[in-house]
Amino acid sequence: MTPFGPAKVGPGQDQKPATAPTSAAERLTTPALTGGFDLLGPVFTREVIHLRCAAPAGLEDGPWMGAAVRGALGRVLEERAANGGAGGRRDPFNRPAAFAILFQTQAMLTRRLEVPRPWRLRVQRRGRSLTIEIALYGFAGYWAPAVADALVEALAAGVSLRALGRMRVPWPVEALEIRRVTGLPTGPDTRLPDTSRALVLDIETPLALKAGGALAGHLDNLPMMLADRASGLARWHDIAIAADFSALRTASRRLRIQADGLIPDRWERRSGRLAGRIIPMAGFRGRLILQDLDPAFALPLAIAADAHLGQGATAGLGWFSVSED
């Protein structure tokens, strides 16, 4: 999916005039297509960068690792952007640098809601190996090769061994692949979660629906957060979601949520922008059981299972899986 140029349109789909946008902001704010969430499902596309590296001696496991990898990647991408790209070569078509796409706000979805960053990160330790996975959504996938190359450089330059650690050591890369995935992340038959049954959300990495890690008082907003996330990611697929959000908000109130064995996680990280500043982080792992979720939220839920939910998706937080009880 190229970053700029008219999107492909299927039969019966609404299309705006096919003038090629000249910036990411323009493409995000003037999407070619308008439709419901069902329009997004079949074209939901991500370029997945999957990397395996050896876990260095002394590495402490924990939710801090995602932010550390994100920070290392950001430093390399920012330096490349300042120098005109990898090897100092400027883009002849003046396309944005990968740093701008991944780390800077490109457009607003509403007056208060940003179009989300078009990526998420997963870091997992498996014995002596680490797997790092970045998914770039929609036309942001164009920058996947540049991001993968920068990630390898960042890991070779070194990442810390523990939360708040100052010493950086290389995380040796053993394997790397980039693959394109299209469609819903719910299995080979791309079946949506059955909302007539209880749905179980197993939270793999700390979930924070609001800054500070709070869940209490915010769980009732979970369906609308799902809708907002899917609506924002739709923009990276040239789609403006046309839905009755007032009706969705009313439907969301029927949801019943049961927390099952939630465990709070707290840790700290260093600010990448303000030297010496320590930022407290928090979230919850465990299980949420959803009952009476309106069917309108089934597709946004399936998308969030791939794209994560809540605060810190680009730092590895908010990763969950969905099953039916």
pLDDT in tens, the chain (325 residues): 667 654 544 544 555 545 566 689 999 999 999 999 999 999 999 999 999 999 999 999 999 999 999 999 999 999 999 987 665 566 666 789 999 999 999 999 999 999 999 999 999 999 899 999 999 999 999 999 999 999 999 999 999 999 988 899 999 999 999 999 998 865 445 578 899 999 999 999 999 887 665 565 578 899 999 999 999 999 999 999 999 999 999 999 999 999 998 999 999 988 877 777 898 999 999 999 999 999 999 999 999 999 999 999 999 999 999 999 8
CATH class of the region 186-324: alpha beta
DSSP 8-state secondary structure symbol assigned to residue 5:
S
Fold match, 46-182 / 186-324 = yes
Q: What are the pLDDT digits (tens) for 82-121?
A: 987 665 566 666 789 999 999 999 999 999 999 999 999 9
Question: Residue 11 has which token pair?
Answer: 């039969």
Using CA atoms, how far apart are residues 225 and 109, in angstroms rounded to an integer? 13
Alpha carbons 213 and 169: distance in angstroms, whole number? 29
By the 8 A CB rule, do 286 and 262 touch?
yes
Instruction: Return the HEC string of 220-285.
Output: HHHHHHHHHHHHHHHHCCCEEECCCHHHHHHHHCCCEEEEEEEEEEEEEEECCCCCCCEEEEEEEE
Fold of 46-182: Alpha-Beta Plaits (3.30.70)
Closest CA to 304 of 191, 235, 216, 201: 201
Q: Where are the domains of the chain?
A: 46-182, 186-324
Residue 137 near residue 235 (C-beta atoms within 8 A): no
pLDDT at position 270, please? Answer: 85
Q: What's the predicted TM-score (pTM) here?
A: 0.90
3-state helix, strand, coil in the chain (%, to 5): 30, 30, 40
CA count, 13 A, side-chain hemisphere, 3: 20
Q: Give me the helices (H) in the chain, please.
A: 24-29, 37-40, 64-82, 98-103, 144-157, 222-235, 245-252, 298-307
What span, in angstroms and rounded, lies between the C-alpha atoms of 101 and 143? 8
The SS3 of residue 67 is helix
**Nearest C-alpha neighbor of 66 from the set 205, 243, 240:** 205
What's the angle, vertex CA 274, arms to CA 268 and CA 279, rounded to 5?
15
pLDDT, position 192: 85
